[in-house]
Amino acid sequence: MNLSTKLSGTASAPGGPSVRVQKFGGSCLYSTEQYLHVASYLEKVCSEGARVVAVVSAMGKTTQSLIDLAERVSPNPSLRELDLLLSTGEQQSIALLGIALKARGILVRVVHVFELGITTDNRHGSAEVIRVTMDRLGRWLEEFSVVVVPGFVGATEDGAITTLGREASDLTAVLLASALGVPRCELFKEVDGVYTADPGLVPGAQRLAHLDYQDMLELARSGAKILHPSAVRLAQQHRILLELKTLHRPDTSTTVGAPEAPSGAIPLALTLRQDCLIARVAKEHQSRFSGWLRESGAEQLVLAQPESFAPVGRPESPASASWLLATDRRGFPLPEYAQAEEAAAVTLVGPIADDVIQRGHEVLVSSGSTARILGFARSQRAARWVVSPADGAATCRVLHRRLFERTE
Ligand code: ASP
Ligand code: MG
């Protein structure tokens, strides 16, 4: 997201009803019953005196089904037409929620993509927002209790429909909150916040009350698919507090915002990223490889110094260096002088003391653990153990038990 994006709109009038921006993701909207559920929740919020901008995603896994559909017509669907197709998911969704709200007698205005006021460039599939104009939306908020808008979509100056990238309705919600001057953005998801590890993977995971923007970004980069990173960056820039919650427990959440009072060097969470690649490159090719990487646009998680591998694995030959890339081998051919190996990264995020790292190392090299450790690298607020993909989940569990559950 471009820092110079122009955001303009009207903040809620002093003394007038408060405005809440609430985003409902596809995982809250997987069936028609869920639309009724969201509608009754919104009715309750309005009865408490708030006006709501409801940003909605496509129903359930609609976006993926539409991509699959396009790929049955062409293996490489043209991006302009694909955006046109994908936008129908959100269009269906806003209309359904609008119908459900009107049936309850709620004053609602459903806003389609051309009324929305999000202008983008023409990079279909991952368009950049160039302008957000909320004047109309601000007026509708004076007139209606709920304004329902599609997430994920925008339009070019020429009137073509664009999309902002997969899962980008988080970004739409933050864009609207900042343009409307609303300091808080509620994002309804599958789970009620951020946990110390993925609760589906690690049964003992605990919900965190608060995370700062930087740690949330590191978690997202390291594999936690909870929040769209551009949404976090934009929220940080505009100081918008994000609240992650789930519909059946709207009173618990994890907030993401400015750092709170430091609580010592206690790590916050562990996350697993499976789609990584270690590229080992001999000394004489290293600068060439760095240049190649910049051009390829591959996401680089760490540039691992050979010695950082030493504590947990076989020491690496000083004649080569390793890069850990956040991408899998498929569709990403490396130059022939780089040796590639598929990998998974287990990242510990937050303030981390040396003894915590040491405990992590110990449990991984202890006799009970069979994981093949390919490397380790540390930065200020992240420590990353790299293992083979088959060992990713078990490594995450073992580290969580040792570092968060304190069973021994
Ligand atoms: N429906 C879009 C997607 O699945 C956008 C979103 O869900 O945020 O990618
Ligand atoms: Mg979706």
Phi-psi label, residue 31: left if phi above 0, alpha if psi -120 to 50, beta otherwise: beta
Question: How many angstroms is it from 25 CA to the middle of ligand 2?
Answer: 6
Model confidence at 196, pLDDT cuts 50, 70, 90, reads very high
* Model confidence pLDDT, tens digit, residues 309-325: 444 444 455 567 777 88
* Model confidence pLDDT, tens digit, residues 220-259: 989 898 999 999 999 999 999 999 999 989 889 999 999 8
Model confidence at 265, pLDDT cuts 50, 70, 90, reads low
The strand pair at 241-246 and 184-189 is best described as parallel
What CA–CA distance (Å, rounded) separates 382 from 349?
5
* Model confidence pLDDT, tens digit, residues 374-397: 888 888 889 988 888 999 999 999
* Model confidence pLDDT, tens digit, residues 88-131: 999 999 999 999 999 999 999 999 999 999 999 999 999 999 99
Cβ–ligand 1 contact at 172 (below 6 Å): no
Residues in the chain: 408
Question: How many angstroms is it from 68 CA to the middle of ligand 1?
Answer: 14
Question: Would the pLDDT of 261 be above 80?
Answer: no
Q: What is the pLDDT of residue 55?
A: 98
* Model confidence pLDDT, tens digit, residues 347-372: 999 988 888 888 888 888 775 667 77
Structure tokens, 295? 């051009």
Q: Kindly give the number of the ligand 1 atom that is closest to the alpha carbon of 172.
A: 8
Question: Model-level pTM?
Answer: 0.89
Q: What is the pLDDT of residue 309?
A: 41
Cβ–ligand 1 contact at 25 (below 6 Å): yes
Question: How many angstroms is it from 60 CA to the middle of ligand 2?
Answer: 6
* 207 burial type by CB count under 10 A (0-12 exposed, 13-18 middle, 19+ buried): middle
What CA–CA distance (Å, rounded) separates 54 from 56?
6
In 3-state terms, what secondary structure has residue 242?
Answer: strand
